[in-house]
């Protein structure tokens, strides 16, 4: 009986290790079970993915949108932005651009950097401000800079920016001061739940996705709604 118990335990541990290895490599992803119920999926990419073959990415029609890193701080421009923006659109995806927010420059300076690079196109997703800064910054100052940036982007593009957040940055900087902004939340462990029960718009559920046409790991996201709702919300004439 003891030997049988030890054998069962050994099999269980071996299976667990295999599953953990497959998840670490992104071959399987437990969050996919929770994300399967959402109709609309999309990717977010930057120079970390290097060259993307968007024709391969879109071949199976699994994805409807792509967010592409454009800028960071007051002067950095992503090397692959222009190529990704053009090619993703040519292959049928609805595209948007995101900016990686930093605490080293003002919101106005960062907005000017973004506006200089990202085309003003009606048929595109709202701009995104990616807020992943440390939580030890001056809260009121950071909120002011984020709001300044958001206001300038909304004035230029005619679309209120979406805020990409972690739980830490949402709780520290966003949750109490940006009720009129839509939220894109990162949670690669479980279905997202914001502390104030606020509804999220996008959920980044996987940061180790394996996608045909992309040689590196890639983030995978879902939209909180149906395809009809997505089109009505984001597509011109939708």
Structure tokens at 41: 């999926």
Neighbours of 197 (CB within 10 A): 6
Alpha carbons 236 and 231: distance in angstroms, whole number: 8
Only one residue has tokens 């401000």, namely: 129
Q: Which of 44, 78, 182, 219 is catalytic?
A: 44
Neighbours of 70 (CB within 10 A): 28
Q: Which of 24, 43, 47, 65 is nearest to 204 (CA)?
A: 43
For 87-174, strand residue ranges (E) read: 94-100, 128-131, 162-165
Q: Which of 95, 80, 97, 88 is nearest to 55 (CA)?
A: 88
Q: Which of 51, 75, 90, 132 is catalytic?
A: 132
Q: Which residues contact 167 (CB under 8 A, 6 or more apart)?
A: 185, 187, 194, 195
Active site residue 132: yes
Q: Which of 142, 154, 63 is nearest to 106 (CA)?
A: 142
Structure tokens at 220: 């995978």
Burial class (CB in 10 A: 0-12, 13-18, 19+), 221: buried
**Catalytic residue ranges:** 44, 132
């Amino acid at each position: 009986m003891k030997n049988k118990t030890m054998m069962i335990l050994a099999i269980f541990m071996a299976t667990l290790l295999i599953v953990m290895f497959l998840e670490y490599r992104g071959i399987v992803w437990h969050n996919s079970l929770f994300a399967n119920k959402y109709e609309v999926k999309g990717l977010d990419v930057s120079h970390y993915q290097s060259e993307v073959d968007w024709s391969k990415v879109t071949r199976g029609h699994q994805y409807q949108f792509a967010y592409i890193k454009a800028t960071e701080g007051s002067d950095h421009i992503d090397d692959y932005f222009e190529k990704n923006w053009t090619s993703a659109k040519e292959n049928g995806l609805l595209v948007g651009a995101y900016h990686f927010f930093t605490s080293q420059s003002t919101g106005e300076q960062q907005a000017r950097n973004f506006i200089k690079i990202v085309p003003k196109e009606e048929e595109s997703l709202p701009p995104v401000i990616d807020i992943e800064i440390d939580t030890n910054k001056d809260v009121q100052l950071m909120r002011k800079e984020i709001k300044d940036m958001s206001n300038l982007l909304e004035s230029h593009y005619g679309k209120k920016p979406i805020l990409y957040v972690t739980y830490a940055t949402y709780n520290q900087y966003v949750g109490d001061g940006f009720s009129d902004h839509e939220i894109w939340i990162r949670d690669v462990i479980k279905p997202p739940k914001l502390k104030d029960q606020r509804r999220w718009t996008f959920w980044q559920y996987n940061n180790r996705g394996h996608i045909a046409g992309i040689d590196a790991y890639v983030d995978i996201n879902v939209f909180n709604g149906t395809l009809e709702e997505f089109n009505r919300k984001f597509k011109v004439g939708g």
